[in-house]
């Protein structure tokens, strides 16, 4: 089997999709039931005789849960089933797996036996026509530990037909690497889509079959809590200042001092270590007085101009991402300076975000960008950049954004009632947010969050999708408390709340999709 690129999903993407499915009302318990049922149906199709003896080697996590469900379905179809559990039932902490274990085990069934294994010496002699490997799922990244390691050896030593659930235990789902010990399956039944590693290591995978588990393709185009999981950036105890990024924001003018403050504050809330704002001197002094957390670079003149760029050169070299645009203004000299900065950023290879007036300056000389980047236009800015008016139908907007992202070699986030994000191939739609967020400044919060993620080394598409959801969800929390009488600064306190517990958004808002 040779799945197309669209039929492949990484372990991280699959985990994020499961979060988003739960967010939309499709519970993990339902997904586990669907997976186990699909597995049981595959075994019944291949081994229709009810005299077939089936032995399940189950772990304590979600993969074991799939096995418990399949074992229950086989029992209900008249098969004799034996379960060898890699640990004690009391050690099952995975909620859905625990539910399905006790559903399987109680009340006792005369055709079911269960052995709980704490030590390799307790592994029983196994006599089965079919052996099901449901020990470890797609999340494995390190070497297999006892007693699972010994159970894998036991499986490989049997003459039975070996079936692996989702992925052979001990195999890295993304690289196909066998991590010190891995099951050599005759058949691997994976769910929803193939994982990359399954297409690489045929020796361990054997025959590959892909089973649907009720995840509609439209769900993969939805931004949700799972996309926040993708940008999680754990901090080791030995971390130092700057390890989590340095964001340079070029913004502000005589009229607009607030925009870069909002962007910088949002970036800090998103986890970046340091934010620098390069702004005209008077504006920079205002920014310093209003937010001491922001480091300002004071440029001569009333507006950004080419003659003031030398002062920010050293910061361009040290920045891990650059955000261009908040409150810059659209004077000719400012536009010229912006395009010079873009050229410098491209030479350095630094990730970049273009927003607001940065987009308008870039629109004077539109071209393919040569660095990882995000562009965040609203409808009017999209028209300035592309010269085309957006259609009203959402599906048509999606196609336009895909084409524009491909044209400019960037990730485009079209802001609107439904945000559309695309890198020219992938597409996500974000439904978080509310009409109260039409107030000025919420777009600066969004660009700051995304810029903060870019500075931490997050992939631009992942950063844009997560940023859109976080910004909208923060606005929804505020709306829940204050109605539509919100201001942009209200969102700042809610950003950490959404990042720490993105599923909590369900408590304040649930849209029918």
For the stretch 375-391, pLDDT in tens is: 999 999 999 999 999 99
How far is the C-alpha of 69 from the C-alpha of 60, rounded, in Å? 13
pLDDT score at 244 = 95
Q: pLDDT band for position 245 (50/70/90)?
A: very high
Instruction: Provide the pLDDT for residue 2.
Output: 43
CA dihedral 41, 42, 48, 52 (to 10 degrees): -100
pLDDT on residue 334: 96
Per-residue pLDDT at 5 exceeds 50:
no
Residues 66-81 have a mean pLDDT of 97
What is the pLDDT at residue 513?
Answer: 40
Indicate if the pLDDT at residue 352 is higher than 80: yes
pLDDT of residue 260: 97
Q: Kindly state the average pLDDT of the residues 121-126.
A: 87
Q: With beta carbons less than 8 A apart as the criterion, state whether 21 and 219 touch.
A: yes
Query: For 327-351, how does the pLDDT look when each residue is reduced to its tens digit (9 = 90+)?
Result: 999 999 999 999 999 999 999 999 9
What distance in Å separates the CA atoms of residue 485 and residue 58, rounded to the nearest whole number?
Answer: 53
Q: Enumerate the β-bridge partners of residue 55.
A: 82, 131
Q: What is the percent of the chain where pLDDT is above 70? A: 98
Q: How far apart are CA 159 and CA 503, in angstroms?
A: 45
3-state helix, strand, coil in the chain (%, to 5): 45, 15, 40
Model confidence over 16-55: pLDDT tens digits?
A: 999 999 999 999 999 999 999 999 999 999 999 999 999 9
Measure the CA–CA gap between 158 and 37, rounded to whole angstroms. 25
Closest Cα partner for 103 from 32, 192, 167? 32
* Residue 426 exposed, middle or buried by CB count within 10 Å (0-12, 13-18, 19+): middle
- What is 242-507's CATH number? 3.40.1190.20
pTM of the model: 0.94
* One-letter-per-residue 3-state SS of 176-192: CCECCCCCCCCEEEEEC
Sign of CA dihedral 495, 497, 502, 505: negative
- ∠96-98-99 over CA atoms, to 5°? 65
DSSP string, 226-288: HHHHHT-----TT--TTTT-EEEEE---SS--HHHHHHHHHHHHTT-SEEEEEEEHHHHHHHH
Res 409 pLDDT > 50: yes
1 pLDDT exceeds 50? no
* Tens of pLDDT, residues 9-25: 999 999 999 999 999 99
Q: What are the CA-CA distances from residue 374 to residues 83, 248, 324, 410, 458 (Å)?
A: 50, 15, 11, 6, 12
Task: Count helices and strands (H / E) in the chain.
Answer: 17, 16
Q: What is the mean pLDDT of the chain?
A: 95
pLDDT in tens, 130-186: 999 999 999 988 889 999 999 999 999 999 999 999 999 999 999 999 988 999 999
Note the helical H segments in 106-219.
Answer: 148-157, 202-205
- The answer to whether residue 3 scores a pLDDT higher than 50 is no
Measure the CA–CA gap between 247 and 239, rounded to whole angstroms. 18
Indicate the domain borders of the chain.
5-221, 242-507
Give, in degrees to the nearest 5, the angle at Cα 504 between 499 and 507.
Answer: 150
Does 510 have pLDDT greater than 80?
no
Structurally, at CATH architecture level, domain 5-221 sits in 3-Layer(aba) Sandwich (3.40)
Q: How confident is the model at residue 308 (pLDDT cuts 50, 70, 90)?
A: confident
Cα 488 to Cα 225: distance, rounded to the nearest angstrom = 22
CA-nearest of 159, 319, 337, 323 to 246 is 319
DSSP 222: B
Q: DSSP strand E in 281-408: where?
A: 295-299, 321-324, 352-355, 373-376
Percent of the chain's residues with pLDDT above 90:
89
In 3D, which of 372, 412, 371, 370 has the Cα closest to residue 388?
412
Paired sense of beta strands 207-211 and 53-58, if any: unpaired
Torsion of CA 212, 217, 220, 225, to 10 degrees: -70
CB count in 10 Å sphere of residue 285: 14
- In the 8-state DSSP scheme, what is residue 139? T
Using the predicted structure, report yes or no on whether residue 247 has a pLDDT greater than 50: yes
The string of pLDDT tens digits covering residues 171-180 is 999 999 998 8
- Position 507 scores a pLDDT of 82
What's the pLDDT at 6?
57
Instruction: Specify the length of the chain in residues.
Output: 513
Contacts 24+ apart (CB under 8 A), 398-406: 398/422, 398/427, 398/429, 401/427, 402/427
């Amino acid at each position: 089997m040779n799945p197309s690129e669209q039929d492949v999903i990484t372990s991280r993407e699959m985990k994020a999709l499961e979060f988003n499915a739960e967010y939309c009302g499709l519970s993990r318990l339902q997904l586990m039931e669907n997976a186990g049922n699909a597995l049981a149906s595959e075994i019944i199709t291949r081994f229709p005789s009810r005299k077939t003896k089936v032995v399940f080697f189950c772990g304590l996590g979600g993969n074991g849960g799939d096995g418990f469900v399949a074992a229950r379905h086989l029992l209900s179809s008249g098969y004799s089933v034996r379960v060898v559990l890699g640990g004690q039932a009391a050690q099952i902490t995975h909620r859905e797996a625990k539910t399905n274990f006790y559903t399987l085990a109680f009340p006792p069934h005369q055709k079911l036996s269960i052995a709980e294994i704490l030590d390799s010496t307790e592994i029983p002699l196994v006599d089965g026509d079919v052996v099901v490997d449901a020990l470890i799922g797609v999340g494995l990244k390190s070497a297999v530990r006892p007693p699972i390691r010994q159970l894998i050896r036991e499986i490989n030593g049997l003459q039975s037909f070996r079936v692996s659930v989702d992925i052979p235990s001990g195999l890295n789902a993304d690289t196909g690497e066998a991590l010190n010990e891995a099951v050599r399956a005759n058949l691997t039944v994976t769910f929803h889509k193939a994982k990359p590693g399954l297409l690489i290591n045929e020796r361990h995978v054997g025959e590959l079959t892909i089973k649907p588990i009720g995840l509609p393709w439209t769900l993969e185009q939805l931004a949700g809590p799972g996309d926040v999981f993708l940008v999680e950036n754990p901090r080791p105890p030995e971390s130092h200042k700057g390890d989590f990024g340095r964001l340079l924001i070029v913004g502000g003018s005589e009229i607009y001092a607030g925009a870069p403050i909002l962007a910088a504050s949002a970036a800090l809330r998103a986890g970046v270590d340091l934010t620098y704002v390069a702004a005209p001197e008077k504006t920079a002094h205002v920014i310093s007085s209003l937010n001491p957390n922001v480091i300002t670079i004071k440029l001569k003149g009333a507006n950004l101009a080419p003659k003031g760029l030398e002062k920010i050169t050293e910061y361009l070299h040290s920045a891990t991402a650059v955000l261009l645009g908040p409150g810059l203004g659209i004077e000719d000299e400012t536009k010229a300076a912006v395009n010079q900065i873009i050229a410098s950023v491209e030479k350095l290879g630094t990730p970049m975000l273009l927003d607001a007036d940065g987009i308008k300056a870039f629109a004077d000389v539109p071209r393919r960008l040569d660095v990882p980047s995000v562009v965040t236009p609203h409808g009017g800015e999209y028209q300035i950049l592309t010269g085309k008016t957006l259609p009203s139908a959402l599906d048509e907007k999606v196609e336009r954004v895909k084409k524009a992202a491909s044209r400019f070699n960037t990730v485009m986030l079209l802001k609107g009632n439904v945000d559309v994000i695309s890198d020219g191939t992938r597409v996500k739609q974000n439904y978080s947010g509310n009409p109260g967020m039409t107030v000025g400044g919420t777009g600066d919060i969004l660009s700051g969050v995304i810029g903060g993620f870019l500075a931490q080394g997050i992939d631009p598409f992942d950063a844009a999708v997560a940023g859109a959801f976080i910004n909208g969800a923060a606005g929804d929390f505020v709306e829940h408390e204050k109605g539509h009488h919100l201001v942009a600064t209200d969102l700042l306190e809610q950003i950490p709340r959404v990042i720490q517990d993105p599923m909590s958004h369900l408590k304040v808002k649930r849209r029918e999709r």
